[in-house]
Amino acid sequence: MSTELACPWCGSPHIIRTIPEKDPFNVMLVCQQCQRVISGNDHPSTQKSRSATRAIEEKTIQLAMGAGKLPAVRYYLTEMNKQPGANLGLLEAKEAVESLIAARGLSSAVKKPNKNGCVIVLIILVLIIASIVYFYTHR
């Protein structure tokens, strides 16, 4: 039961298995002719779209850490829907961003929403109540 592997870039059947010293469970396949690392789903046509997806994911992580989760989800949703064949919904984009953040262990580093809006509303309500009391007591 032999399966003949060929390099997706150059078509060479000369492929060797390598086992890295630092991660022995991660077996890599390397083409002897073009010296490229081959994974199970590598193909030159999908390589460009995968690198674009990685760039979108990196930018999403940076946005989540700097501006918060909401701008990151919005960016991820719009950019991923620009990719060919992608039709992503808001819930899927939110879950994808949360899984990206959790996979990197950055959940505590994501900027939390600002609570200043509640304080401003509270101050305005107190001023309204004070002006109403002042109006009725100083006639």
Segments making up each domain of the chain, as ranges: 1-42, 44-109
Q: How many CB atoms lie within 10 A of CB 87?
A: 8
With H, G, I as helix, E, B as strand and everything else as coil, classify residue 30. Answer: strand
Say if CB 13 and CB 5 are below 8 A apart. yes
Please give the DSSP secondary-structure letter assigned to residue 89. Answer: -
SS3 breakdown of the chain: % helix, strand, coil, rounded to 5? 55, 5, 40
pLDDT band (50, 70, 90) for residue 131: very high
With H, G, I as helix, E, B as strand and everything else as coil, classify residue 70. Answer: helix
The per-residue pLDDT for 103 is 86
pLDDT tens, 7-21? 777 778 888 887 777
Query: What pTM did the predictor assign?
Result: 0.51
pLDDT band (50, 70, 90) for residue 2: very low
